[in-house]
Structure 1
Amino acid sequence: MDDQTKAALRLLAELQRLNGADTLSNPNQTPAVRVTIRTANGEFIGEALLNPRAADEAANAAGVVAEYATAMPADYQAGRTVTPELDPFLVADIEDTFADVDPESYLADVFSSPDAEASLAAYEQMVTGEFDGGQL
């Protein structure tokens, strides 16, 4: 099976899954849109009947991707995912917050846990960054 057929089958399956997920909670909905899927050379793959909500959600999803492709065409063509820049001051604030946490302040919770062994293993991993294989 070539890549075009695989892509067409995946699209069809996802559209049918989208419609099915919405229909489970609303079984009396009637189809609003019939989407026919064909490969680029015209080979028929299948059809998906979408109720109004599923059709709207599919259009929203396609719109988000279209916005990305339009705003960042080089990244879209290269298949890259946008990685947001992290604010270095925010990262520093988060690191400072966790640096101020006293690990001993958790000991009461560890020892009062109904599963002390798992709690102790989790505590050890959190404090030392090491995990010796104890049950979590």
Structure 2
Amino acid sequence: MLALTADAVWILQFVIDKAKAHLQAAQLLYQHLSYRDVVSRAYDAAFSAMQAFVGDPPRGRWEHPGLRGAFVTKLAERGLPIETCRQLRRRLRYLLDAREVADYREDAVEAGMALDALDIAGEVLRFAEEFAA
């Protein structure tokens, strides 16, 4: 594994901190029963954590499926078991679907969906921190 430059380490930590802030905001929103906003903030936390872990896209900017794929692939390369990677990929698809419901549709967003979103975002953040080291 290549050593990170001081600038790269700073950027990684900045984006991880942003992910943590999104997750903390989502947890606070959950306490206030704002489930739709919980899902949206939790997705932002997961997206930021994935982005911090994989770095810059090959070109342009990250889109949701590409970032998800790059994240899971890099985790597998770093030693996360394949079955865990498959489950994580499914959970990330669910989180994106939940975020689309929360942000763009009139469907109800219940406490269970919000809790799932918090759980998935927390898992992504833990993996990003653990496997980035």
Does TM, normalized by the shorter one, top 0.5? Answer: no
Q: TM-score range by the shorter chain?
A: under 0.3
Structure of greater relative contact order (alpha carbons < 8 Å, 6+ residues apart):
2
Instruction: Give the strand-richer structure, 1 or 2.
Output: 1
Which entry has the higher C-alpha Rg, 1 or 2?
A: 1
Instruction: Give the helix-richer structure, 1 or 2.
Output: 2
TM-score, normalised with respect to structure 2: 0.25
